[in-house]
C-alpha cells in the first residue's frame, strides 16, 4: 500500500515520516514520530487531550489527517521546555499542583500557551473559556486556572 511522505518541523526539528492517508496527525505523531505526549481521550475533538499547535494554531491532532500537515510547523508538549528549562506554564502547573493523573496536562499546557501568546493578561473568565475545550476529570479546574493566572503574571514580569 503506497504511503504518503510528509515533511514537517516538529518542536523545531525537521521531521519526515510516511503515513497512510487515513491516519490522524495524532497517531502519526505517536506511532511514526514517537512523540506520545499528545494523548487520545476521545478521538472526536471533544476532550482536547491531543491538543498541539499547527502553525501557531491550537489543533486537535485527532481531527487532522497526517498528510494535511505537510509543510507545517508543529509544537507538542515535548517542545514546550527550552533546552531543559521549563516554560513558565509547566513550572506553574508543577508548583500549583495543577495536575492529578496528568493525562490532560499536555493538552492544557498547549491550549494555555496559545491563550497567553495572544492575550498575555487574560481574566479568569477568559481563561475558563479558552480552556473549555480541554476536559479534566480530576482537578475541578480550580488549580489549573490559578496556575495559568500565575504563569501569565510571571510572563508579564509581575
Hey, how many other C-beta atoms are within 10 angstroms of the C-beta on 67?
A: 17
**Candidate ranges 53-61, 64-72, 133-141, 150-158; the one touching another protein (CB under 8 A):** 133-141
Query: CA 70 to CA 131: how far, in whole Å?
Result: 27
Footprint of another protein on 53-72 (CB under 8 A): none
For residue 74, the 8-state DSSP code is E
For residue 17, the 8-state DSSP code is E
Query: CA 91 to CA 29: how far, in whole Å?
Result: 25
- Check binding of 133 to another protein (CB under 8 A): yes
Q: Which is nearer to another protein, 99 or 114 (CB)?
A: 99
Binding mask 81-120 for another protein (x = CB under 8 A): x----x---x--xxxxx-xxxxxxxx--x-----------
With residues binned 3-state (H G I as helix, E B as strand, rest as coil), the percentages for the chain, rounded to 5, are: 40, 20, 40
Binding site for another protein (CB under 8 A): 20, 22, 27, 30-31, 34-44, 46-47, 49, 76-78, 80-81, 86, 90, 93-97, 99-106, 109, 125, 127-129, 131-146
Amino acid at each position: 500500500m503506497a504511503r504518503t511522505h510528509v515533511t514537517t518541523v516538529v518542536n523545531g526539528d525537521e521531521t519526515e515520516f510516511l503515513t497512510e492517508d487515513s491516519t490522524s496527525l495524532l497517531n502519526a505523531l505517536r506511532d511514526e514520530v514517537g512523540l506520545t505526549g499528545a494523548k487520545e481521550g476521545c478521538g472526536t475533538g471533544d476532550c482536547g487531550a491531543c491538543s498541539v499547535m499547527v502553525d501557531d494554531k491550537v489543533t486537535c491532532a485527532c481531527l487532522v489527517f497526517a498528510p494535511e500537515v505537510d509543510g507545517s510547523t508543529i509544537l507538542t508538549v515535548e517542545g514546550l521546555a527550552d533546552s531543559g528549562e521549563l516554560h513558565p506554564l509547566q513550572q506553574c502547573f508543577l508548583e500549583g499542583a495543577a495536575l492529578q493523573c496528568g493525562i490532560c496536562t499536555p493538552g492544557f499546557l498547549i491550549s494555555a500557551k496559545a491563550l497567553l501568546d495572544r492575550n498575555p493578561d487574560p481574566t479568569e473568565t477568559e481563561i475558563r473559556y479558552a480552556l473549555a475545550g480541554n476536559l479534566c476529570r480530576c482537578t475541578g479546574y480550580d488549580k489549573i486556572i490559578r496556575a495559568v493566572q500565575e504563569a501569565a503574571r510571571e510572563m508579564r514580569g509581575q
